Amino acid sequence: MNDLLTLMKSELIVTIIIIFLLFTKVASKEWSNESLLNFINFLLLINLVAGFFFQKDGVLFNDMFRTDKLIVLEKNILNLGLLIISLLAHGWLKKHRHMPEFYILLLSTLLGMFFMISAGNLLMFYLGLELSTIPLAALVNFDLEKRQSSEAAMKLIISSAFSSGFLLLGISFIYGTTGSTQFNGIAQHLDGSPLQVFAFILLMAGFAFKISAVPFHLWTADVYEGAPVAITAYLSVISKGAFFFVLVSVLYSVFNPMSETWYRVVLILSVLTMLVGNLFAIRQNNLKRLLAFSSIAQAGFVLVGISGSSVAGTASVVYFILVYIFSNLGAFAVVAVISSQTGKENISDYKGLYAANPFLSCILAISLFSLAGIPPTAGFFGKFFLLIAGAGKGNYIFISIAALNMVLSLYYYLVVVKAVFMDSNESPIEKLTVPVFPKISMIICLSGIVVTGIAGWIYDYIYSLSQ
Amino acid sequence: MNEIPLTHILFLSTALFFTGMYGLFTRRNMITMLMSIELMLNSVNINFVSFNKYLYPDKLDGIFFTIFIITIAAAEAAVAIAIIINLYRSHQSIDVEDAGEMKY
Amino acid sequence: MPHYTYIALIPILPLAGFVLLGLFGRRYFSASSGIIGTAILSISCLLAFYTAYQYFFEGGNVNGHYQQIIAMKYTWLQFSSNVSVDMGILLDPISVMMIVIVPFISLMVHIFSLGYLKGEERFATYYAFLGLFTFSMIGLVLSANIFQLYIFWELVGISSYLLIGFYFDKPAAVAASKKAFIVTRFADLGFLVGILILSFHAETLDFQTLISRLTSQSPQFLNITAASFLGISALTWGLVLVFIGGAGKSAMFPLHIWLPDAMEGPTPVSALIHAATMVVAGVYLVARLFPVYALSDPGALKMVMYTGAFSALLAAVIACTQTDIKRVLAYSTMSQIGFMMFALGVSKYGGEEGLGYMASMFHLFTHAFFKSLLFLCAGAVIHLVHSNEIKNMGNLRKIMPITNICFLVGCLAISGLPPFSGFFSKEEILHAAFQADKFIFSIALLTSGLTAFYIFRLYFSIFYATTSSPEPLHPVSSNHGEGTLTMKIPLIILAICALLAGFVPFANYVTSDGDPLKTNLSIGFSIAPLLLAVTGILLAKWLYQKRNNGPEKIAASLGGLYKAAYKKFYMDEVYIFLTKKIIFNLVGRPAAWIDTNIVDGSVNLLASFTGAVSERIKTVQSGKVQQYALYFFAGIAGLTVLLIYVWKI
Amino acid sequence: MNLSLLILVPFLTAMAILFCRGSKQVRVVALSGASLQLLLSAVLLVDYCKERSSGNTAPMLFEYNQAWFSNLHINYHIGVDGISIAMILLTAFIVIAGILVSWSLESMSKEFYFLLIFLSLGAYGFFISLDLFTLFFFLEVAVIPKFLLIGIWGSGKKEYSAMKLALMLMGGSALVFVGLIGLYFSTNTGDGSHSFDLLQISQMNIPLETQRIFFPFVFIGFGIFGALFPFHTWVPDGHSSAPTAASMFLAGISMKLGGYGCLRVATYLMPDAAQEYSPVIIVLATIAIIYGAFATMMQKDLKYINAYSSVSHCGFVLLGIGMLTKTAFTGAVMQMVSHGLMTALFFAAIGMIYSRTHTRMVAQLGGLLKMMPFISTVFVLAGLCSLGLPGLSGFVAEVTVFMGSWQRPGALYRIATILSCASIVVTAVYILRAVGQTVMGPVTHNYFNGLADASWNEKMASLILVAGIVIIGVTPFWLYDLVAPATDLIIKKITSNGF
Amino acid sequence: MSAYAIIFYLLSVFILVTGILAVSTRKIFRSAIFLLFSLIGIAGLFFWMQMEFIAAVQVVVYAGGIVVLIIFSIFLTQQSGKELQKPTRSRIFFSLLSVIAGFVLTYFLIQQYSFQPTSATATAVSVSNIGTQLLSTSEHGYILPFEVVSILLLASMIGCIVIAMKVES
């Protein structure tokens, strides 16, 4: 019982918050939206802080749930991201009728991811996956008045159902060929026969869909564009990050016997993803859409790191996700503030932003530089370590392609920077007052971007956990 | 029952799966697309059950998987239909071709 | 051996003058800058004389042999363990002779300029430049190290550039300065490569070591003669290239084209740089390396000889046809330097054979005086007439008698009539040529005749022939006509020098090997050249003393030849063609075009290509969820087929 | 002394600038920071010479090694030798000059000076770092400020140039990056782990095949920074559309990063490959020299003239490196220093002229010597330095390169050397053309006559640079003696592998 | 060939035919009914495999729940009489192509693979077994998934409500 409390603490805390919200929604009415929102943020903060205590390795429910320091860290990273998002979405949520439901759904998806990360069993993995997907579809639709929002939700739910169909087919074949749904049980019975390869590819397609790797990525841009900014951020950072964590552990531990196979799959996916993501991003005008494609390209880079299949691989991926949360959320924070106050989301609207809003511009620019991997921002270190991990396999053509893609990606980030700093605009965005909560989130992201890279011990810590 | 080889059942499930996929590809009405997805999921259920029955009767993993799949299919269908209804409100249509504003 | 370090002051003082006047002259003492410059220079001039005295009569001569003295030496740049550039001072007869000439002439010019450039707004700058030039020239002649010589060589070039372009708002002057610098730069390229070759094989840049190694059977000598390119030994390449450098500076054919244009500069500058000092640097260079030329590589020396002789003749011919007074003098300079060159060419090393060497140096010495004299007189004339064209002058002997006398002295000297200085040096040269090579001798003879003709053509048409314009050209009191006192004094001094310099027992001091040389002037030998000279003079007198249409007649009768000579044998046109047409159009333009269109174009092409691709593939993102599903399945199928059947484990 | 100061001071200056009010404060802070940095570098030079004269023969002095990412064996490892010190001095000079030149800038001055200082920070860090990761880090730090400087304060087709520059330089650093990683994985520090440490790697000998693969990556990568033909096309556009100070930094500092990298990383760590590829390098360098010079001859815009001549002059750097002789290496380094100062001076002069006459077209200028003698003199001096006049730094550097190149036997190298020598004639042609038409000749527009000569800050800036040029030109031996031991070390490594 | 086998084949034919009709008929209401039949057929198949519980769940959840839901939504969104519009030729072509390719590929792979049954003794698929295991935390206990699914259902319920609720404006 004591075990249960310590090992599943994150899940339990989140569940408690969910139930609390249910009651506030159903029973009590005296909460004003504003104060409730602040209280929720406070709870999320507690959740984040609590994550760092009582760290313990162990398994529960006969290996359906397992946890260790790395998993706890991953959950904390997700918590952090959630907190930042909830801060940056503050302005939008204040006005929203269904704010508590928003948090209920959001937290349940987070719960799903937690279970998925610490799943020791394909069943738990599948359940966590669905739990983190189905409510998200509802969340994407949370701009109830906007046509695009419901279109995006439709696209998400249908294509994810479709992909989970294939995922299940894959799982069924794995079950059929190995006779187990336990991860370690599967690992023993893998023999790399064609059917298993096929099953793996189906499973991998499910993953690729979630991390939006080419050619399973097509839903991404549309959904990101249609969804509320907060949810776009959530999709692009939290859910993607969670799936990367799972992917790493699944590939490294479960499919270790088929490492050669999955290395090739990852290689192909990675190259395609980087190229296509960048090529599409080049000609975007909607900033959310551009960030969508950029996040696709980033996924390609993460796959490079994963392909390393080493401790360095795990560490670099986790580290990069951390960095990526800061960088991407920094950008989204600016987008959220601007779109919630002016409704403008196009790059052409951002022209001459710096003149009136230097603070927002600098945050945006720094985040974009971090995404592009420019020192001294943390993004540079993230990319560097990913590529080092990938280079461990000695496939330098692959690494060169990745490196050149970094150059390609730099282009569209610089286009945004150019618009913000250099271009002139007859009707620029006027001076905006940034509310306190979004400002806090921006500060967090900024400090994260600056500190995470330079402070070497962070990476070392992650590395030590990954062993 | 053992004179029916496993592969025949798998033939059935596979055929059903791809029938569902065909439906998903061709049907322009969202609700029918949903139906096709249900078909796909069911075929997977058949897989699980038959694997469990034929190969690994010692544990009930397949059975339970099936049960949970069914449950989740229900939830998924519910949310999907809710979304479709909402979309119908805004678009006055449930034809996927009409819901393609965001592109490129 | 006495203490020589003070010699460093000789070049350094003018340098100090340059810095002082260059930085502060314009603002603080623009008027007095001339005096300051002159004063500074006179000090170093005195020092130079003292040095010369010490060298020739006390320190330098060790039991009848003038040896080389390294007065001082600092390592400036250590290229490698054994090859290094040292800033040093080398004293030997020729360098000492030069440091007598250079500061002296420079001083004269300084004084002359006091009057000549009075009221010029960039007066201080002018004197600064003069200082810079004097510094570089002295540094050049004192160099103990071939690379040091190259350095000062370049500095001399740049100061000549600055001085020619002194009237920077005159496009002609700017163009001339540019031309002068670029042509000499081109020659210097040869010099540089020559240095590279010699120093690489001789493993030294120091003159003494270089010469000793390349004139003995040292290992360096063996491998430099062994190494060859296009069948010509590295030594020859080196020497020829070095000579090309010298030819450039000394305006030898075909690198002479810059000299006439250089006359755009102020006339005193022409007197200093383009008559007396800088232009003989080439001769000095060859003389400096003379042992190597003479002992190790007579082939290269032959080339020197022919170049010199041809240039001398060519220049003399052209000089006969020019109408710009300064240009005539310029060509005569070229011709005289030609004399010095082939004198070196015909000479051998040491003893009686070394006569040519001694003669050449002697002529250099005397020429410095009378040519600068001529130029300064011309300057005085131009200062009065404000024109360079002969036809605007004439009948000036009444207005400027002193100038008239001095000019006459100069003319007699250059045309080699006794007892003027030119006579002695030229006789020696002809003598040497006669001993060595009859063909060269005949050319020399002819040239000296021409010299007498053209110089007196000049003289008569300036001071006698009545102008077409109503005379007297300047109805002014005679003493203005002469210009200020400061302009007259140098003329007189130089005239005296030009008169007496010939009587210096040169052969006792300056010879190829440092041992005194016995020379015997046989009257019999001198008859032929004298007759030629006199005839030349008389011809000029007949043609030009009174204005008549004789010259035109002759010109017409000569026809093409005259025209060609008048057009300087179209050398400039050839060069224009080479540079403008060939270099610019066939090299420069294509280079620029390639850069913008091909190299840069490919970069832009890459960019636009990427853009095009991304435009092309955008339809994949069709916004239709069913197509997304199709792609999804296509991805799975593709991966499966690839992984299971194509790219098997 | 503690080298980290060299990074710390610019960093603090940049921070201080952020908290300044008004362009006046900003300027003062920036200037004082830069001066302090100059002082530091001078102190460094003195200390270094003391150490050396006291017989300390370690390859690098004032080392400081601190684990950064210990699991990947990435250290913050810094130290200096003669080459780095020369580069640091150069940077310090140019930074101070650049700040002075842009003294009168009013629009967004805070950002401007911040970026300048930040850029210099990257340069300093690059020159002192002995760990390849740190090196690469600082290399990329220096890229984006250039982009912003050109894009925001530039002129002409600034966005295009800025983007082109950023992308090409990033491409270069991408190549370097791959090369470095390849190098990293081919190292082995005994216990099976890899190393980024420059000194450690220089002790190992990396298998020839690996060198063969990765030398081009590193060399071309750095070569793009150093305007290696045919990857030089960012140079003309970038320089010409950049604001004056940025052009000075670009040509004076940024291009030197390339040369330094080629020498320190590519050649030093992969000597065998360097020998194999040296003919290719030399051919490319010679093409750059000649072709750059001729392309310059055709330019009409002063900034383009200088930019192309930079291509030509940086060719000498690469030539020197490619020749693989001690003298040539030393010459290359000297050429870097000299070219840095000289081209910075040139850009400064052009900037001054442009800010007054509002044109950079040679054809439209003329007779400037009349109304602005100081600026014109500076202009002429820069020109003379670039055409290699003795007594100015350019001459010393170039002849050192020539001397060194000639020591490399073999027809190809001889011809390359002669061709490069020939370029000095072409240089003379275009420089004198530019000088003759702009500074000399008749005044082309009347309104020129009303123009004022240089202001005090411009004079200061020019004088600083001129001082540098003249000092090197008149007393080159100290620079040579500073640099030569370091290059000697590199050459020893090359020859030790049988050359 | 025993009745047992015949039943299987009949069932499978029934399932496939109705499934194909469900995805191909032009009347949406009919296709819903065909789907229902096909699902019931699958339930029959489970019966045939002596999986009574699963069969029951299948009938209850699908036939009783999902299909009804679907039919309701059809009524909400569609005038049921109206024919569905035909898909385009090319779409049909590509779909058929991929479907056939996928089917052949998959079934071929299945064919190749030789499934090995375990020798371990079977556990009875009794309702009681399933019930106990579903709620046990011990070996083969499925309490955790059960809880997770409950949360999932809750969340999706809330989601449905929020989305589908009429916006009063």
pLDDT tens track for C183-212? 899 899 999 999 998 888 888 888 888 888
Taking only residues 59 to 78 of chain B, the set having a beta carbon closer than 8 angstroms to any beta carbon of chain E reads 59-60, 63-64, 66-68, 70-78
- Which of C515-529, D309-323, D420-434, E146-160 comes out lowest in average pLDDT? C515-529
pLDDT tens track for D426-464? 999 899 988 888 888 888 888 888 888 888 889 999 999
pLDDT tens track for C622-639? 889 999 999 999 999 999
Q: Cβ–Cβ of E118/B36 closer than 8 Å?
A: no
> C-chain residues within 8 Å CB-CB of D488?
none
CB atoms < 10 A from the CB of D372, how many? 22
Contact present, C69 and C92 (Cβ < 8 Å):
yes
Distance in Å, alpha carbon of A336 to nearest chain E alpha carbon: 22
Q: Cβ–Cβ of D436/C591 closer than 8 Å?
A: no
Question: Interface of chain B against chain A, CB under 8 Å?
Answer: 17, 20-21, 24, 30, 33-34, 37, 40-41, 43-44, 47-48, 51, 55-56, 61-62, 64-65, 68-69, 72, 75-76, 79-80, 82-84, 86-87, 89-91, 96, 99-103
Chains D and E touch (3+ CB pairs under 8 A): no
B13 vs E: CB within 8 A: no
Contact present, A269 and A213 (Cβ < 8 Å):
yes
What are the distances in angstroms from CA D52 to CA D3, D173, E33? 17, 34, 94
Cβ-proximal residues to D322 (8 Å cutoff; 6+ apart), any chain: D278, D281, D282, D285
pTM: 0.92
Q: Cβ–Cβ of C626/B25 closer than 8 Å?
A: yes
- Which of B1-5, C315-319, C440-444, D158-162 comes out lowest in average pLDDT? B1-5
Give yes or no for residue D499 having a pLDDT over 60.
no
Supply the pLDDT for residue D113: 93
Q: Which of C19, C137, C178, C580 to mutate to test the interface with D (most CBs of D within 10 A)?
A: C178
- Which of A266-270, C167-171, E101-105 comes out lowest in average pLDDT? C167-171
Q: How would residue D217 be classed by pLDDT, with cut points 50, 70 and 90?
A: very high
- Which of A52-56, A378-382, D256-260 comes out lowest in average pLDDT? A52-56
Give yes or no for residue A217 having a pLDDT over 90.
yes
Q: How would residue A1 be classed by pLDDT, with cut points 50, 70 and 90?
A: low
Instruction: Note the helical H segments in C504-599.
Output: 506-509, 523-544, 550-558, 560-566, 571-576, 589-593
Contact present, C113 and C134 (Cβ < 8 Å):
no
Taking only residues 581 to 620 of chain C, the set having a beta carbon closer than 8 angstroms to any beta carbon of chain A reads 610-611, 613-615, 617-618, 620
CB atoms < 10 A from the CB of A342, how many? 12
> B-chain residues within 8 Å CB-CB of C619?
104
Q: What percent of chain D has pLDDT over 70?
A: 99
Distance from C-alpha of D9 to C-alpha of D40, rounded to nearest angstrom: 9
Three-class HEC string of C332-371: HHHHHHHHHHHHHHHCCCCCHHHHHHHHHHHHHHHHHHHH
Supply the pLDDT for residue D339: 93
Cβ-proximal residues to C77 (8 Å cutoff; 6+ apart), any chain: C84, C85, D396, D400, D476, D477, D480
Q: Cβ–Cβ of E76/B88 closer than 8 Å?
A: yes
Mean pLDDT of chain D: 90
The pairing of strands C69-78 and C84-91 is antiparallel
Contact present, B1 and E4 (Cβ < 8 Å):
yes
> A-chain residues within 8 Å CB-CB of B24?
158, 162
User: What is the SS3 assignment for C87?
Assistant: strand
* Tokens read off for D268: 């030093």
Q: How would residue C24 be classed by pLDDT, with cut points 50, 70 and 90?
A: confident
Q: How would residue C470 be classed by pLDDT, with cut points 50, 70 and 90?
A: very low
> C-chain residues within 8 Å CB-CB of B25?
626, 629-630
Q: Cβ–Cβ of A422/D159 closer than 8 Å?
A: yes
Supply the pLDDT for residue C476: 47
- How many A/D residue pairs have CB atoms within 8 Å? 87
Give yes or no for residue A302 having a pLDDT over 90.
yes
Q: Cβ–Cβ of A396/D182 closer than 8 Å?
A: yes
Supply the pLDDT for residue C318: 87
Q: How would residue C2 be classed by pLDDT, with cut points 50, 70 and 90?
A: low
What is the average pLDDT across B59-71?
92
Give the chain C residue nearest E96 (alpha carbons). Answer: C630
pLDDT tens track for D69-122? 988 889 999 999 989 999 999 999 999 999 999 888 888 888 999 999 999 999
Mean pLDDT of chain A: 91
> A-chain residues within 8 Å CB-CB of E142?
123
- Which of A458-467, C15-24, D341-350 comes out lowest in average pLDDT? C15-24
Supply the pLDDT for residue C477: 43
What is the average pLDDT across E4-17?
93
**Residue B79 is nearest to which of A157, A162, A175, comparing CB atoms?**
A157
Instruction: Note the helical H segments in D208-270.
Output: 208-225, 234-241, 244-249, 255-261, 268-269
Supply the pLDDT for residue D360: 87
Q: How would residue C270 be classed by pLDDT, with cut points 50, 70 and 90?
A: confident
A137 vs B: CB within 8 A: yes
Three-class HEC string of C261-273: HHHHCCHHHHHHH
D8 vs A: CB within 8 A: no
Give yes or no for residue A388 having a pLDDT over 80.
yes
E160 vs A: CB within 8 A: yes
Supply the pLDDT for residue A25: 81
CA contacts within 13 A on the Cβ side of C252: 28
Query: Of the segments A292-296, C115-119, E134-138, which one has the largest average pLDDT value?
Result: A292-296
- Which of A307-321, C93-107, C210-224, C613-627 comes out lowest in average pLDDT? C210-224
Give the chain D residue nearest C171 (alpha carbons). Answer: D441
Supply the pLDDT for residue C478: 43
Give yes or no for residue C1 having a pLDDT over 70.
no
Angle CA B56–B62–B65, to nearest 5: 160
* Tokens read off for A427: 């009707």
> E-chain residues within 8 Å CB-CB of A124?
144-145, 148
Q: Cβ–Cβ of C644/E98 closer than 8 Å?
A: no
Give yes or no for residue D329 having a pLDDT over 50.
yes
Angle CA D124–D130–D136, to nearest 5: 65
Supply the pLDDT for residue C383: 82
pLDDT tens track for B29-44? 899 999 999 999 999 9
Give the chain D residue nearest A414 (alpha carbons). Answer: D163
Q: Cβ–Cβ of E65/B22 closer than 8 Å?
A: no
Distance in Å, alpha carbon of A201 to nearest chain C alpha carbon: 7
pLDDT tens track for C376-412? 888 888 888 777 887 777 777 777 888 888 888 888 8
Handedness of CA B66, B72, B73, B75 (dihedral sign): positive
* Tokens read off for C81: 């363990």
> E-chain residues within 8 Å CB-CB of C626?
91
Residue from C304, C323, C300 nearest C312 by CA: C304
Query: Of the segments C263-267, C348-352, C485-489, E90-94, which one has the largest average pLDDT value?
Result: E90-94
Supply the pLDDT for residue C224: 78
For residue D66, list its beta bridge partners: D76
Q: How would residue C467 be classed by pLDDT, with cut points 50, 70 and 90?
A: low
